[in-house]
Amino acid sequence: MWIQREIALPPRPRGFHLITREVVEALPELRDLRVGLCHLFLRHTSASLTINENASPDVRADFETWFDTVVPEDFGGWTHTLEGPDDMPAHIKASLLGPSLSLPVSGGRLALGTWQGVYLCEHRDRGGPRSLLATAWGESG
């Protein structure tokens, strides 16, 4: 079975946001897969995806602090500045984490670890709505 769906994510402020529930709710067919894969691709250059801690909001805040320290807006070497001071740093951050994830599906659910969740990493102050292309395939049973 193959499933492909665009998932529209509402605008979020800069930060690291758990979207696992939104992904699962947008793909009810996952329940029919005994074994498979779910590929997520974010169609943007100033946001990214990653998997990490799903319980403590401190982890998401620490991610933001670290990224803002390592890739600062006030770095004097940016030449791509027409879209605002947060744009070029957002591109760098997005490249560090990447636009896609491949997740195993087992027994009708994403086979994430107990403390793992899917993050949308919004690197712009006002990035706007985001588009996620989800492709799942596998064997039903």
User: What is the distance between the alpha carbons of residues 102 and 136, in angstroms, rounded to a whole number?
Assistant: 9
Confidence (pTM): 0.95
Instruction: Give the whole-number percent of the chain exceeding pLDDT 90.
Output: 99
pLDDT, tens digit, 9 for 90 and up, residues 123-137: 999 999 999 999 999
pLDDT, tens digit, 9 for 90 and up, residues 53-72: 999 999 999 999 999 999 99
Cβ atoms of 112 and 20 within 8 Å: the answer is yes
Report, at the CATH architecture level, how domain 2-140 is classified.
Sandwich (2.60)
